[in-house]
């Protein structure tokens, strides 16, 4: 395949930055780079533009460095939550990848991070908090806290009883007597209630008896009979 040398006028990831001389396929340069204005042919006239391109590159890289530095400070204070499914034993199905973390950073914090800048030594396969390295720039590296949580509800045996159930099973500490009316029994009078009634009868004393031997008063019916 024929190659041609071009001067890049814009930064192209994986290829180079402004003012770089690179060799690419002739068809790639002719059909894509030149029409899009991303590169120019290597000619005497175009070489004079190198200083302008280098200055533009310096400004762009300085802006990227400042932006990534500020972003690193912000991300280092955040905790990215990734929800996963687990089995009954608490083990995860699959693993958390850099792509999943990048998606959650976008959804939760609107931070667009290329997943290739999220460095994982190995996929995360356990619940809890983890530290992940972010390589945002050649000169900017920071740490991100990632908390992996389970979306699977706990098994029924592990669910504690509700307060209502606990209240039903709670033993009664206060004994209350049964009302006779509720059981269909007649109320019984206590001895203390009967004693005053008996005592009141005793206070009255025996009823006075009539004196049979007493004589009727004079002038009464009996007196007239004797005469």
Structural domain boundaries enclosing 81: 72-150
Domain tally, the chain: 2
Q: Burial level of 103, CB count in 10 A (0-12/13-18/19+)?
A: middle
Comparing CA positions, the residue from 101, 98, 58, 63 lying closest to residue 81 is 101
User: Domain of 33: which CATH number?
Assistant: 3.40.5.10
Q: Residue 207: pLDDT above 90?
A: no
H runs (alpha helix) in the chain: 26-28, 34-36, 44-47, 50-75, 98-109, 163-169, 180-183, 191-204, 221-226
- Give CA–CA dist 2/19, Å, rounded: 22
The pLDDT value given to residue 201: 46
Residues 145, 83 share a domain:
yes
What pTM, to 2 d.p., does this model score? 0.57
When pLDDT is cut at 50, 70 and 90, the band that residue 46 belongs to is confident
Q: 61 lies in a domain? A: no
Q: How far is CA 37 from the centre of its chain?
A: 50
At 43, the pLDDT band (50, 70, 90 cuts) reads confident
- Return the percentage of the chain with pLDDT > 90, whole number: 52
pLDDT grade, residue 84 (50/70/90)?
Answer: very high
pLDDT over 50 (residue 144): yes
Does residue 42 share a domain with residue 76? no
**DSSP E strand boundaries for 66-161:** 79-84, 118-119, 128-137, 140-150
Which pLDDT band holds residue 199 (cuts at 50, 70, 90)?
Answer: very low
Residue at which a domain ends, from 150, 182, 214: 150
């Amino acid at each position: 395949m024929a190659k041609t040398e071009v001067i890049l006028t814009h930064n192209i990831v994986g290829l180079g930055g402004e003012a770089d001389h690179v060799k690419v396929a002739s068809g790639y340069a002719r059909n894509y780079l030149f029409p899009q204005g991303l590169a120019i042919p290597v000619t005497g006239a175009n070489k004079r533009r190198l200083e302008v391109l280098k200055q533009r590159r310096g400004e762009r890289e300085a802006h990227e460095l400042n932006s990534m530095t500020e972003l690193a400070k912000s991300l280092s204070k955040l905790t990215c939550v990734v929800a996963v499914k687990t089995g009954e034993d608490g083990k995860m199905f699959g693993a958390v990848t850099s792509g999943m973390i990048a998606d959650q950073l976008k959804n939760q914090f609107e931070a667009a991070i290329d997943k290739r800048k999220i460095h994982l030594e190995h996929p995360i396969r356990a619940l809890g908090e983890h530290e992940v390295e972010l390589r945002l720039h050649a000169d900017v590296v920071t740490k991100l806290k990632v908390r992996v949580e389970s979306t699977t509800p706990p098994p029924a045996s592990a669910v504690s009883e509700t307060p209502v159930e606990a209240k039903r099973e709670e033993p009664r500490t206060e004994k209350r007597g049964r009302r006779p009316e509720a059981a269909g029994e007649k109320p019984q009078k206590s001895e203390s209630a009967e004693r005053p009634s008996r005592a009141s009868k005793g206070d009255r004393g025996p009823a006075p008896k009539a004196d049979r031997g007493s004589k009727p008063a004079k002038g009464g019916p009996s007196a007239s009979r004797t005469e």
